[in-house]
A and B are shown apart, each in its own frame.
Chain A
Amino acid sequence: MAVRIIADKCKGCQKCLKNCPFEAITMQGKIADIGPACTNCGNCLENCPFDAIEKVDDGNKGVDITLYHDVWVFAEQREGALMGVAIELLGEGRKLADEIGCKLCAVLCGDNVNGLVDELYEYGADVVYYANDPALVTYNTDAYTKVIYEAIVKYKPEIVLLGATHIGRDLGPCLAVHCNTGLTADCTKLDIDPEDKKLMQTRPAFGGNLMATILCPKHRPQMSTVRPGVMAKPERVAGKKGELVELEVKLAEGDVRMKVLEIVKGLEELVSLTDAKVIVSGGNGLGNPEGFELLKKLADRLGGVVGASRAAVDAGWIDHSHQVGQTGTTVKPELYIACGISGAIQHLAGMQTSKIIVAINKDENAPIFEVADYGIVGDLYKVIPTLLEVLGE
């Protein structure tokens, strides 16, 4: 649907100009004009006092959506182990499939990862589509795209979900272009419209300042990548079985144009921010890289890990793998302690669903206090040593 100004009704009040998050509306003489930056979000529609803005059909072509059935989850595996987000997606996919009244299917690619098939059944998959080939041993953009695209064409799923990992965010766009369908990145919430059974995909937009619910009404499959750590893992039901469908892998000379020569694990210890129960995070207020040593002491005492804001990562004080926020990792620990973090909107977007948030900052007006359950205005170099003392060994 396109958004349009009804020229006779527009009184030139300019309210829509102020309400547009994308600065897409300008004044052309005495009436408002919607420019190419418009994303059809509809904010202006709701706020126009004169009902002078309408949504109109835009002549968008589509496909016969009645041919498409079932919910598919990309069962991403690395070195023969399922990624946590794939299991989370099976939980979410189960919910969606039950609401639509269709099957939940997993798509597994790898080289002799037969053991994962049962695991996928046990986490809820009714059907596992399995592509077993030495060429699929590690993720390869060309090979995985070709194999899964061919399966989509053959079996026609109505929904395809992928984890928003570095691999899912590579594979998703490639598949979507071949299917000529939409893809919504980094969703944090998925729902089925009870009326027409369409997938409603909600994601942060504009650096987390806005949430947008996206539809893919006329094209199939409806595709989303979903942030790891956002959806709950389902219970594993031992012994549950399902149906296996083996996918044919036909890769000709020239189909695969890239080759993984080597996989190098990070030299730093792995920071599992998504699984952590406690995160002690540091920002600009630390003032120096040594500050993270103090945070590490506190994190160790609490059985947690160290996180960081973008400011601290950009300053080069700590590795990017520790970054929490819109461009880093989304986290929801039991306890999040923000030390010397002012609370930029991108940071808040990545941690505000934590169960308890404690903020320590010198500036009493820091935005981080807006989301904190407990705020301490003070010098973190005094507060944290005191806290360590009180907690004892």
Chain B
Amino acid sequence: MKIIVCAKQVPDTNEVKIDPVKGTLIRDGVPSILNPDDANALEAALQVKDANPDVTISVVSMGPPQACYMLRECLAMGADDAYLLSSRAFGGADTCATSTTIAAGIRKIGDYDIIFAGRQAIDGDTAQVGPQTARRLGLPVVTYVQKVRELKEGSVIVERQLEDGYEVIECKTPCVLTAVKELNDPRYMTIDGIVDAYNKEITIWNENDVKLDPSDCGLKASPTQVFRSFTPPPKGKGEMLEGTVPEMVNTLVAKLTEKHIL
């Protein structure tokens, strides 16, 4: 059995702060990490492998060469091999174009039973590339998977998270499943895993390797364009209440009553 995991290297947006004077992003020292939902996707694959050592896990990503660090992390967690789709031609891709490239990479790896991806990446929060990749590969997709109940011959039974509960879905395999964080707790890298990860090759493919025309990649194949971007105007700073706790509370209640909030 072969599982493919889609992963992305992202800036840790939890570490991004706004310069209060200039209103610009402070990026200095912001680390790049394995996207959190993708770690859940990899963990789900690793759990299948724990139960059945014959399973092989390939991780695939699209990004600049630095994304190899993130892929080594995936190998150190227990993935068997890793592929990076990296080329100038892939630059500027929106989710539509990204899914074309990822699908081409997966096609070249081939011979898969299940593809796990994270529900969404924390730098874009679109949740689109997983299902879009599935459709490009002609595969069924279940998004927001919070539990894998059963792997059967030719199908999988999973729980799909809803806002107010969940659905139990049986889906034919091969298929794409996108993971939410409730799916599992991703494991840490092991020392042996880290040593092994550095002895493994990461395969890097460009558009020729995955048989894509440059006009079907990156910016040229992206229907959406960023027209402009701006920092959201901060809400004006309000009033800091002063005095003892009872004094502050009384002032607050008076203010809220005055504004007809209470």
Identify the A interface with B (CB < 8 A).
1-2, 19, 21, 23-24, 35-43, 58-62, 138, 141-142, 145, 165-167, 169-170, 172-174, 176-178, 180-186, 200, 204-219, 257-266, 270, 302, 320-321, 326-327, 334-335, 344-346, 349, 352, 355-358, 364, 369-379, 382-383, 386-387, 390-391
Contacts and interface: CB of A to CB of B under 8 A. Distances in A.
Given A36-B64, A60-B221, A383-B245, A257 B171 contact: yes
Contacts of A264: 159, 165-168
B238 A38 contact: no
Closest 4 CB pairs of A and B: A36-B91, A207-B13, A182-B223, A182-B224
Given A58-B220, A184-B224, A258-B170, 5 more contacts: A19-B24, A206-B13, A264-B165, A346-B13, A383-B249
A166 B96 contact: no
B52 interface: no
B21 interface: no
A368 to B, nearest CB: 11
B220 A205 contact: no
Nearest to A371: B235
B167 A262 contact: yes
B14 A344 contact: yes
Interface string B235-262: 1011111000110111011011001011
B31 interface: no
Given A172-B128, A176-B128, A182-B222, A37 B13 contact: no
B40 interface: no
Contacts of A356: 256, 259, 261
Nearest to A384: B249
B131 interface: yes
B235 A180 contact: no
Interface stretch (B71-79, B104-112, B133-141, B193-201): B133-141
A290 B249 CA distance: 22
B261 A334 contact: yes
Contact of B17 (A24, A266, A345, A357): A345
A185 B126 contact: yes
Interface residues of B, number: 93
Nearest to B260: A334
A57 B63 CA distance: 23
A40 B168 contact: no
A376 B252 contact: yes
B206 to A, nearest CB: 11
A187 B182 CA distance: 25
B172 A369 contact: no
A376 B248 contact: yes
25 contacts: A21-B27, A21-B229, A35-B88, A36-B64, A61-B220, A166-B160, A169-B143, A170-B143, A174-B134, A174-B141, A176-B132, A182-B224, A183-B224, A205-B229, A209-B25, A211-B232, A212-B229, A214-B226, A261-B169, A264-B168, A321-B164, A346-B14, A375-B238, A376-B248, A390-B246
Contacts, number: 293
Given A173-B95, A375-B240, A370 B223 contact: no
Contact of B252 (A42, A141, A387): A387
A209 B215 CA distance: 32
A206 B167 contact: no
B247 to A, nearest CB: 10
Contacts of B130: 173
B227 A390 contact: no
A185 B223 contact: no
Main secondary structure on B side of the interface with A? mixed
Nearest to A213: B227
A40 B136 contact: no
B48 interface: no
Contact of B92 (A39, A215, A262): A39
Contacts of B92: 2, 36, 38-40, 58
B96 A259 contact: no
A37 B91 contact: yes
A374 B18 CA distance: 22
Nearest to A220: B223
A145 B246 CA distance: 58
B203 to A, nearest CB: 18
Contact of B163 (A258, A321, A379): A321
Given A183-B95, A258-B172, A177 B135 contact: yes
Given A42-B228, A60-B219, A378 B25 contact: no
B43 interface: no
B161 interface: yes
A57 B206 CA distance: 23
Contact of B164 (A266, A377, A386): A266
B165 A173 contact: no
B54 interface: no
A387 B125 contact: no
B38 interface: no
Of A266, A346, A373, A391, chain B has the most CB atoms within 10 Å of the CB of A373
B16 interface: yes
Contacts of A261: 157, 167-170
A183 B94 CA distance: 9
B225 A206 contact: no
A141 B226 contact: no
B126 A186 contact: yes
B208 interface: no
Contacts of B63: 36-37
A41 B229 contact: yes
Contact of A262 (B168, B249, B250): B168
Contacts of B165: 263-266
Contacts of A349: 232
Contacts of B94: 182
